[in-house]
């Protein structure tokens, strides 16, 4: 997706492209989290229910759902996603409506998305190195939250929304902004490489 070039003008503080980006990534991740909740409820109602994300022993939401990590705070993790992922959708819609937000709001929003990124990276590590199974819907959430975090971080700093305009942080972030996609690519490629190394039979199992 093409993201508008970062500047410090009032118009570019509320870019249309960035608003659409937040809506799309937030909505897709929210849908994936809702699918996990729906499938969990279906399994509770009917223990014989076959989850729509159970492909084989390696790609299995059921295996992940049965792990302690799937309910880290005493309730299913996807509930956090269903509740929290409404925020980027709402912010994206507000940007399209040319709403203006205070610096403290952007700081809180970035803080929330940062926590989501940390949580996603932790879940990735647990799934690959402890649980030993991959959840397709979970991975779709990872695929949306990771770029959301990196682009939000560079956007808020490069536009001066959170960094002092004209300061060193803002200048560095503005130089990095056009290349944010490379950071996202490295993050996702690292996850993909770890999965392929840990599960060398994954691709043959999917093709077979």
Residue 198 CA to residue 192 CA, distance in Å, equals: 10
Q: Is the dihedral of CA 199, 185, 3, 26 positive or negative?
A: positive
Q: Packing angle between helix 16-45 and helix 86-96, nearest 10 degrees?
A: 150
pLDDT in tens, 2-36: 444 444 444 344 589 999 999 999 999 999 999 99
Instruction: Look up the CATH number of the domain holding residue 32.
Output: 1.20.1440
Tell me which of 31-40, 181-190, 196-205 is least confident.
Answer: 196-205
pLDDT number for residue 133: 95
pLDDT digits (tens, 9 = 90+) for 93-131: 999 999 889 999 999 999 999 999 999 999 999 999 999
Is there a domain that residue 7 lies in? Answer: no
Q: Is residue 5 part of a domain?
A: no
pLDDT surpassing 50 at residue 160: yes
Task: Decide if 10 is inside a domain.
Answer: no
> How many whole angstroms from its chain centre is CA 41?
23
Residue 145, domain member (yes or no): yes
Q: Is residue 44 part of a domain?
A: yes
1 belongs to a structural domain: no
DSSP per residue, 61-119: HHHHHTSGGGGTTSS-THHHHHHHTHHHHHHHHHHHTT----HHHHHHHHHHHHHHHHH
pLDDT of residue 161 exceeding 60: yes
List all residues 6 or more positions away from 52 whose beta carbon is below 8 Å from its beta carbon: 35, 39
> How many Å apart are CA 133 and CA 58, to the nearest integer?
5
In this predicted structure, what is the pLDDT of residue 190? 97
What is the pTM assigned to this prediction?
0.90
User: pLDDT (tens digit, 9 = 90+) per residue, 28-49?
Assistant: 999 999 999 999 999 999 999 9
Q: Is residue 8 part of a domain?
A: no
- Counting Cβ atoms within 10 Å, is residue 120 exposed (0-12), middle (13-18) or buried (19+)? buried
Domain region containing 22: 16-207
Task: Please tell me the predicted confidence (pLDDT) of residue 208.
Answer: 67
Provide the domain count of the chain: 1
> Percent of the chain scored above 70 by pLDDT?
93
Give the residue among 91, 84, 139 at the shortest CA–CA distance from 112: 84
Is residue 2 in some structural domain? no
- Helix H or strand E encompassing 149: helix 136-158
What is the percent of the chain with per-residue pLDDT over 90, rounded to a whole number? 81
């Amino acid at each position: 997706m093409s993201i508008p070039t970062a500047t410090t003008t009032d118009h570019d503080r509320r870019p249309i492209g960035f608003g659409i980006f937040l809506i799309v990534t937030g909505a897709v991740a929210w849908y994936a989290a809702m699918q996990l909740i729906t499938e969990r409820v279906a399994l509770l109602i009917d223990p014989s229910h076959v989850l729509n994300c159970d492909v084989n022993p390696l790609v299995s939401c059921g295996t992940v759902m049965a792990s302690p990590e799937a309910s880290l705070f005493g309730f299913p993790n996807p509930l956090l996603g269903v509740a929290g992922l409404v925020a980027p959708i709402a912010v994206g819609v507000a940007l399209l409506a040319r709403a203006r937000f205070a610096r403290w709001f952007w700081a809180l929003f970035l803080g929330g998305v940062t926590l989501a990124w940390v949580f996603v990276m932790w879940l990735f590590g647990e799934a690959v190195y402890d649980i030993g199974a991959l959840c397709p819907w979970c991975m779709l959430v990872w695929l949306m939250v990771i770029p959301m975090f990196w682009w939000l971080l560079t956007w808020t700093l490069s536009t001066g929304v959170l960094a002092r305009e004209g300061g060193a942080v803002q200048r560095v972030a503005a130089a990095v902004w056009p290349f944010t996609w490379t950071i996202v690519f490295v993050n996702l490629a690292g996850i993909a490489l770890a999965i392929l190394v840990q599960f060398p039979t994954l691709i043959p199992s999917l093709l077979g």
